[in-house]
Amino acid sequence: MARIKESNFGDTSFQRLLGHNLEVMQGWCYLGNVLEKEGLLSAELKEQVRRTLAQKNGCEYCKAKGKPQFNKFDEKISIAVAFTEVFLKQKGEISDSSFKILREYMTEEEISELCAFISFTTASQYFGAMMKLEPVRNQQ
């Protein structure tokens, strides 16, 4: 059970926890929708990064959506996930050499999108972890 009761606003448990401040929930959802969709980076790459982050960021709700699917990895996804693993271990102390590797496979714009996605997704997962947001259980 989450640490606070859900509001009446939002479509998901996550949104309803944010929904105590409607403007925050709407802004958060808007940015999440922008970052998750197909952009300079594929939605599949972002999903594999999200799954990688979920395994270490402590949100059971996010973990329940599954582990990275290695059968869906291509070269670019592999590099993005490897960079994500570096982030998880080093947080803001990522070396220039890690960015040098990224530049071999991604444009500056793609790197910016990847880092924004990693940062936002981590914040979302930390929020879920702080609130003890649990996975939705199928009711039969």
- Provide the pLDDT confidence category of residue 138 given band limits of 50, 70 and 90: low
Q: Percent of the chain, pLDDT > 70? A: 97
- Report the mean per-residue pLDDT for the chain: 94
**What's the pLDDT at 140?**
39
The whole-angstrom separation of Cα 13 and Cα 104 is: 39
Q: What phi and psi, each to the nearest 5 degrees, are found at residue 18?
A: -75, -25
Give the three-state DSSP class for 86.
Answer: helix
pLDDT tens track for 39-58? 999 999 999 999 999 999 99
Burial category of 59 from C-beta neighbours within 10 Å (exposed 0-12, middle 13-18, buried 19 and up): buried
Which residue segments constitute the domains of the chain, with CATH numbers given? 13-130 (1.20.1290.10)
Q: What is the Cβ-side half-sphere exposure of residue 50, based on CA atoms within 13 angstroms?
A: 20
